[in-house]
Structure 1
């Protein structure tokens, strides 16, 4: 396998067509097709299924794609490291950030980072497990600032804790169960929770099992804070938020924390990267800027910072 062949496979997966891959790689469709066919011939397997509507990866293609992304991404990072040693700037840094950290410390972190590495392009993703972990694994994400997955990923990722906090049950202000005191009173509601891909979404079920309760009759999964807030505001759904997010969203979005007596699991937010892989100069600089912003009690956004600091424990 050659690197240009792996790049072609990644581009086809990302764009869904040979023409789209050609545009992404600034090559001709014929060159992309030739790269793919030669790789299929060498490996003696079919990597894509071709149809009038485009191409899709076969099971073999999807298996190879995970490795192709890692190789292509690692080569790009190697080039960036060499450019840095030559005092050349540029490249891209991809980061996923959990919502409440994005609302408080991210702006100041970006300002500091841009002052030091103005030519590095930043790419941000919403910091949910279902979004961040697959991208960390396949190499399309450099840094995840968020909650560590409870699954068996400790050997694959490194985790540097930043904050710990508890979580809360949230609903719209004026919800008919807003004054409930136990989880048992909420079992018949529709629950909206973030999908945990490492445990196949079992986390909310375990929460009820820990308190010797049956699971709610209806659990739905989300991949966006915007969607969660919109649904909570206009329905009788309930959800589970980390307390810092409750502090930020409750008054602004007309939400409230339901005062159940049960203690919910603690949530730890940290800096998560791939194990055994050195961070680029840009990645290290971004983390330095984030830590500085967290420690700077006089920085911009002090009101939001003070609000979330009442519900977290700093671990750096």
Structure 2
């Protein structure tokens, strides 16, 4: 296998056709086709199936695309690290961010990072862990910031806790249950939750079952904060927001945090990366900027900053 062949394979995966891949690479369609035929011959396996509507990957092709992305991504990281050591910090840093972190701590951290490394191209992907995991797996993300993946010694991902925070149950201000004081009063409610499908059962255990409550019949899983906000505004659904997001959204979105006696949920926000992949200098510095942003906000005497950071406990 040669690097130009792997690069061609990834270009086909990204664009969906031979012609589009050729345009993105500045090559002729014939050159792209030749590279694929040579790669298939080297591996003694068909990688793509050509059709009128484009190309489809075989089982062999899909497997190789994952490894090709890892190889190319690692080479890009190596090049960026060499540039950094030479004093010319450049390259690209790709980060997955859970939506509520993007709306609270991300902007000042980005500003801080840009002051030190203005030539590093930042690329952000919004998404829950189930969305960003494939990108972590194939190397197109350096790391993600959000709920950690389930931990196990065999896991392909490595989690480092960053901070913890508590959550609140939220609804529109004129919701019929806006004055409820206990979760038990909400057993018949409908919920729109920004949860990962994979963590639904553990979250339901933490929130409902361990309190002796039945799990509500209607729990809509929404993989978008915008969808949750729309549902809260137009229906009697409830949701759960981390407190920093509550502080940002209450007045802006006409929401209300129910005055519950119970602690609703503790959220651990972690840095998740592919196990065994070294962190680039740019990635390490970005995390420093994020930690400094949270630490500075937690110690601020500004009332607005105090509200935003009052529930945050830095873990790293």
Tell me if both proteins adopt one fold, taking TM over 0.5 as the criterion: yes
- Offset at residue 268 of structure 1 (A): 0.8
Deviations 1:151-199 (A, max 9, x none): 54874333332221222222222122323344454444442223425x3
- Offset at residue 283 of structure 1 (A): 1.2
> Which residue of structure 2 lines up, in the alignment, with residue 57 of structure 1?
57
TM score, norm. by length of structure 1: 0.87
* Conserved? CA contact 1:48–1:57, under 8 Å: yes
* Conserved? CA contact 1:99–1:245, under 8 Å: no
In the alignment, structure 1 residue 132 sits paired with structure 2 residue 132: yes
Counting only pairs closer than 5 Å after superposition, residues 89-128 of structure 1 correspond to structure 2 as: 89-128=89-128
CA shift in 2, pair 1:181/1:56, >3 Å? farther
TM score, norm. by length of structure 2: 0.87
CA shift in 2, pair 1:13/1:218, >3 Å? farther
* Conserved? CA contact 1:128–1:146, under 8 Å: yes
> Which residue of structure 1 lines up, in the alignment, with residue 254 of structure 2?
254
Instruction: List gaps (5 residues or longer) in structure 2.
Output: none
Counting only pairs closer than 5 Å after superposition, residues 164-203 of structure 1 correspond to structure 2 as: 164-196=164-196, 199=198, 201-203=200-202
Which secondary structure state, in structure 2, belongs to the residue aligned with residue 279 of structure 1? coil
Which secondary structure state, in structure 1, belongs to the residue aligned with residue 208 of structure 2? helix
In the alignment, structure 1 residue 310 sits paired with structure 2 residue 289: no
CA shift in 2, pair 1:262/1:292, >3 Å? closer
CA shift in 2, pair 1:179/1:152, >3 Å? farther
- Offset at residue 131 of structure 1 (A): 2.5
Q: Find the aligned partners of 2:170 and 2:183 in 1 and give their Cα distance.
A: 12
Q: Find the aligned partners of 2:286 and 2:295 in 1 and give their Cα distance.
A: 14
Counting only pairs closer than 5 Å after superposition, residues 1-316 of structure 1 correspond to structure 2 as: 1-150=1-150, 152=152, 155-196=155-196, 199=198, 201-206=200-205, 207-297=207-297, 302=302, 304-316=304-316
How many pairs align? 315
Q: Find the aligned partners of 1:214 and 1:101 in 2 and give their Cα distance.
A: 30
Which stretch of the first structure deviates more once superposed, 93-102 or 138-147? 93-102
Which stretch of the first structure deviates more once superposed, 139-148 or 158-167? 158-167
Q: Find the aligned partners of 1:145 and 1:154 in 2 and give their Cα distance.
A: 21
Which secondary structure state, in structure 2, belongs to the residue aligned with residue 276 of structure 1? coil
* Conserved? CA contact 2:298–2:306, under 8 Å: no
- Offset at residue 132 of structure 1 (A): 2.5
CA shift in 2, pair 1:201/1:44, >3 Å? farther
Q: Find the aligned partners of 2:304 and 2:284 in 1 and give their Cα distance.
A: 26
Q: Find the aligned partners of 2:277 and 2:232 in 1 and give their Cα distance.
A: 40
* Conserved? CA contact 2:300–2:306, under 8 Å: no
Q: Find the aligned partners of 2:150 and 2:130 in 1 and give their Cα distance.
A: 12
Q: Find the aligned partners of 1:235 and 1:26 in 2 and give their Cα distance.
A: 51
Q: Find the aligned partners of 1:104 and 1:265 in 2 and give their Cα distance.
A: 19
Which secondary structure state, in structure 2, belongs to the residue aligned with residue 171 of structure 1? strand
Q: Find the aligned partners of 1:247 and 1:151 in 2 and give their Cα distance.
A: 30
Q: Find the aligned partners of 2:189 and 2:81 in 1 and give their Cα distance.
A: 52
* Conserved? CA contact 1:104–1:305, under 8 Å: no
